[in-house]
């Protein structure tokens, strides 16, 4: 049992002052009392504490592309060729180093959990590793950093609708839906065997829904380009969260309509996978019927605004989706930046630019997208209140910096950046402070060690 004391704490849609938070040994919030002096045994924090940010969509290896794909313009599809060249260089050893640096950067920025949309399963050419080596590399990186990881084991079987895989995509594929399901079934056991034991007072591995594991397992359909129509119903029978890249590009919609006669959302709905388990990532180019299907199902929609802007994907219908009943969450995707507050701001900025109206999402709704919305998408416990269902995950924001001085209450999220994240806490345990990881130190040095393992030019 430990006690944290916050000068200001955002919880339940309001900012409370002088708040003592009693954290149970399992990392959950046992009790919360506002308007009290700091107990002698408490760890104290000034500024404004927010629930830890949940990053609902990540491709860790895409961080290799930051600052390297802008010189000649290009399109999403030319960018994808550069991404494939980066994927070809990944090994379990260098991916561990890279993911460790990426997750450490996330943590210091205020992300306390991440959903890793992972499809680089095999060796170049498609030969399997000995025992889930790439997946274990990611899980070990998350464990060593101390960030909560939802490992979305991704199925990728076709190179496009009606197309064979190309040479670069071969290492993503399990050959068939049965091959994917067989490998997926063995992955949880492999994770438990490798990560068994405790980390920071809580279990290191389990399925989503188990008590409070650091690493949980979900599944993903890469896209309707990557999994053919006959194989989609297989995902309805899996446990845990299910994610899919959906309608990121008009070309995907056009190919789906030409081949199947329906939109990607309708194709998924007809396969029985558009449910409250589903998270549709991007969802940029949707019809009115698509929006209704996702809303009626209470599906999550993961917007990745800085990536969508970087790739010129377009502005997705976030407000319309929220109005229809979908749950909005946020992800950093290719990590153009790793800053949860910039993602939050970009969501609202896109809405304002597209509509010509301010305040499309209130500060409370933006914080919810970053916190409870992400938890909904990832099937993890939210860090937003008191009780067994809540975890003691917080990011403390400096309210007196050059960016934030004068901000009113929770509106600070529309002024602050990750630079203002002074402390990050996971399960009641301080894991980062002032941009440095508590155990691993300077994140730039972690990147230096990782990037030396790649030939990027």
Positions marked catalytic: 282, 333
Strands (E), 24-119: 28-33, 43-51, 53-58, 111-118
Strands (E), 133-232: 148-155, 198-199, 202-203, 205-207, 215-221
HSE, side-chain direction, 13 A CA sphere, residue 297: 24
* DSSP element (H, E) containing 188: helix 177-195
> Which residues 6+ apart lie within 8 Å of 273 measured at CB?
221, 232, 233, 235, 236, 242, 244
- Backbone phi, psi, residue 369, to 5°: -60, -35
CA distance 207 to 214: 10
What SS3 string covers 294-357?
A: HHHCCCEEEECHHHHHHCCCCCCCHHHHHHHCCEEEECCECCCCCCHHHHHHHHHHHHHHHHCC
Tokens of 305: 């605004």
The radius of gyration computed from the CA coordinates of the chain, to the nearest angstrom, equals 21
- Backbone phi, psi, residue 245, to 5°: -70, 125
* DSSP element (H, E) containing 432: strand 429-433
Strands (E), 234-299: 242-246, 278-282
- Nearest of 451, 433, 430 to residue 442 by alpha carbon: 433
Lookup result for tokens 């896109």: 350
């Amino acid at each position: 049992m430990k006690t944290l004391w916050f000068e200001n704490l955002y919880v339940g849609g309001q900012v409370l002052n002088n708040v003592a938070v009693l954290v149970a040994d399992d990392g959950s919030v046992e009790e919360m009392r506002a308007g009290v002096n700091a107990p002698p045994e408490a760890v104290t924090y000034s500024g404004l504490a927010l629930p830890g940010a949940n990053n609902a969509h990540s491709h860790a290896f895409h961080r290799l592309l930051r600052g390297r794909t802008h010189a000649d313009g290009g399109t999403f599809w030319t960018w994808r060729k550069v991404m494939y060249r980066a994927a070809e260089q990944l090994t379990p050893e260098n991916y561990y180093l890279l993911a460790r640096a990426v997750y450490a950067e996330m943590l210091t920025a205020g992300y306390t959990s991440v959903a890793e949309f992972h499809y680089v399963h095999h060796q170049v050419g498609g030969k399997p590793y000995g025992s889930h080596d790439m997946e274990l590399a990611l899980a070990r990186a998350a464990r060593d950093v101390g960030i909560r990881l939802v490992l979305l084991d991704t199925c990728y079987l076709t190179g496009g609708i009606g197309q064979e895989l190309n040479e670069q995509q071969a290492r993503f594929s399990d050959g068939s839906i049965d091959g994917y399901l067989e490998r997926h079934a063995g992955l949880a056991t492999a994770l438990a065997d490798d990560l068994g034991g405790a980390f920071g007072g809580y279990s290191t591995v389990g399925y989503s829904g188990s008590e409070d594991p650091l690493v949980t397992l979900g599944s993903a359909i890469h896209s309707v380009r990557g999994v053919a129509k006959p194989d989609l119903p297989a995902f309805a029978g899996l446990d845990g969260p299910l994610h899919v890249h959906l309608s990121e590009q008009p070309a995907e919609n056009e190919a789906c309509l030409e081949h199947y006669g329906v939109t990607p959302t309708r194709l998924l709905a007809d396969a029985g996978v558009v449910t409250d388990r589903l998270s549709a990532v991007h969802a940029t180019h949707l019809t009115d019927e698509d929006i209704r299907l996702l809303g009626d199902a209470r599906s999550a929609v993961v917007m990745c605004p800085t990536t969508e802007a970087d790739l010129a994907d377009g502005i997705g219908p976030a407000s319309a989706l929220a109005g229809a009943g979908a749950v909005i969450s946020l992800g950093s995707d290719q990590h153009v930046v790793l800053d949860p507050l910039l993602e939050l701001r970009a969501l609202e900025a896109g809405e304002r630019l597209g509509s010509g109206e301010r305040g499309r999402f209130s500060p409370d709704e933006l914080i919810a997208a970053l916190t409870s919305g992400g938890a909904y998408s990832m099937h993890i416990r939210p860090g937003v209140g008191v009780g067994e269902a809540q975890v003691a995950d917080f990011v403390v924001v400096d309210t007196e910096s050059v960016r934030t001085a004068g901000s009113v209450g929770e509106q600070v999220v529309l002024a602050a950046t990750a630079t203002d994240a002074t402390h990050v806490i996971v399960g009641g345990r301080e894991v980062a402070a002032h941009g440095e990881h508590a155990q691993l130190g300077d994140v730039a040095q972690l990147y230096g060690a990782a990037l030396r393992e790649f030939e990027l030019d």
